[in-house]
Copies of this chain bind each other. A is one copy, B any other.
């Protein structure tokens, strides 16, 4: 159950009779430093915490020297235990293989540096079960707050801060029934941007392709926005639209979905319609591009349009039009929100929705 199964660990203690070079010289503690500097632990502690003004220059110099000589590093664990805060932030990521996550992570890290936190990164690899375990583990390490970008985290795994839970902020997706800060893309605007671009380019049969979206708010929002944008009064009569679910986690379900898509494309072609696919995110886009290439050859963009939310590094190489998210900002803001709550501010749950940016490439030349 618990991750730390440590039964059966022989506590290999240094053999006093071994002629090895100074068997495992324990790291120096604050007491060692105090002794070395000829003073009490209190002064060392003061020094460590920057209360330099209350230390005589002499003592201060001795302490400095002692620390240097012993290569002393204060033990964060002990510090944390004592003061009740360890400067650890949990970051739960559903899928690090998705470039989006890595970019958000970069923003998170940079904010952590600025604010003095150490991010504890947990990668759930798209497994709901892992998410639960990691959340427990983070709790166990007493992180001061968590940033969550998960697939199946439930409200019950993450009690709202009011009821004794850890401060939490959600990235990209909400959790049903959980009243926490959320930061992510302005999905409605981003999708609208994409749809308008496709219409401008003359596509009149749009298919939104998305992973199962019932349980992921951002997917839900994007799908809904797609329907609204295409049903919009000014287009309603001229634009065909449909949604195709593509479950990338079920390899067996992918082929049928792609077949359905092919059928749709064939029909559209017969009608003389110009068809374009709107991928809800990068993983979907990759899968679609691979399929289209296999089916139509390298010239596939002449047959079908393709646009995607997310702008992975390979989009440029593949010539795919995208809607880029300000991922780093998203990560940065998440930490800022979290920091405020950790510091005690308790405003109502906030939501930060960042705008996406259209990057036009060859896949939507029309």
Q: Which residues of A contact B (CB under 8 A)?
A: 3-7, 9-10, 12, 20-22, 24-25, 27, 50, 73-78, 80-81, 85-87, 96-97, 99, 102-103, 105-106, 109, 113, 116-118, 120-121, 123, 125, 136-137, 139-142, 162-164, 286, 289-290, 293, 298, 312-314, 316-318, 343-344
CB closest residue in chain B, given A136: B73
Q: Which residues of B contact A116 (CB under 8 A)?
A: 3-6
Complex Cα distance, B343 from A5, in Å, reads 14
Q: Which residues of B contact A22 (CB under 8 A)?
A: 164
Within the complex, the shortest CB–CB distance from A201 to chain B, in Å, comes to: 20
Q: Which residues of B contact A113 (CB under 8 A)?
A: 3
Complex Cα distance, B77 from A262, in Å, reads 55
Known A77-B80, A105-B123, A312-B314; 10 more pairs at CB < 8 Å: A3-B116, A4-B116, A4-B118, A6-B85, A25-B164, A75-B140, A76-B140, A97-B99, A97-B102, A289-B317
Would A81 and B87 count as touching, CB distance under 8 A?
A: no
Among candidates B9, B105, B118, residue contacting A96 with C-beta atoms closer than 8 Å:
B105
Q: Copies of this chain, how many?
A: 2
- Write 18 A-B pairs (CB below 8 A) sorted by A numbering: A3-B117, A4-B116, A5-B116, A6-B116, A22-B164, A24-B164, A73-B136, A73-B139, A75-B140, A76-B142, A77-B77, A97-B99, A105-B123, A118-B137, A120-B120, A290-B317, A313-B314, A318-B318
Complex Cα distance, B115 from A7, in Å, reads 11
Complex Cα distance, B80 from A290, in Å, reads 49
Q: Which residues of B contact A298 (CB under 8 A)?
A: 298
Complex Cα distance, B25 from A162, in Å, reads 9
Among candidates B4, B25, B125, residue contacting A87 with C-beta atoms closer than 8 Å:
B4
Among candidates B12, B85, B102, residue contacting A344 with C-beta atoms closer than 8 Å:
B12
Would A142 and B7 count as touching, CB distance under 8 A?
A: no
Within the complex, the shortest CB–CB distance from A348 to chain B, in Å, comes to: 14
Q: Which residues of B contact A7 (CB under 8 A)?
A: 50
Most chain-B CB neighbours within 10 Å: which of A22, A87, A105, A313?
A313
Within the complex, the shortest CB–CB distance from A200 to chain B, in Å, comes to: 24
Among candidates B86, B96, B141, residue contacting A102 with C-beta atoms closer than 8 Å:
B96
Among candidates B25, B76, B99, B123, residue contacting A109 with C-beta atoms closer than 8 Å:
B123
Q: Which residues of B contact A73 (CB under 8 A)?
A: 136, 139-140
Within the complex, the shortest CB–CB distance from A117 to chain B, in Å, comes to: 8
Within the complex, the shortest CB–CB distance from A337 to chain B, in Å, comes to: 16
Would A86 and B96 count as touching, CB distance under 8 A?
A: no
Within the complex, the shortest CB–CB distance from A249 to chain B, in Å, comes to: 15
Complex Cα distance, B296 from A361, in Å, reads 17
Q: Which residues of B contact A344 (CB under 8 A)?
A: 10, 12
Complex Cα distance, B162 from A21, in Å, reads 7
Complex Cα distance, B86 from A159, in Å, reads 26
Q: Which residues of B contact A140 (CB under 8 A)?
A: 73-76
Q: Which residues of B contact A286 (CB under 8 A)?
A: 313-314, 317
Within the complex, the shortest CB–CB distance from A54 to chain B, in Å, comes to: 14
Q: Which residues of B contact A86 (CB under 8 A)?
A: 77
Q: Which residues of B contact A20 (CB under 8 A)?
A: 162
Complex Cα distance, B316 from A243, in Å, reads 26
Q: Which residues of B contact A290 (CB under 8 A)?
A: 316-317
Would B76 and A78 count as touching, CB distance under 8 A?
A: no
A106-B125, A113-B3, A317-B314 known; A75-B21 Cβ under 8 A: no
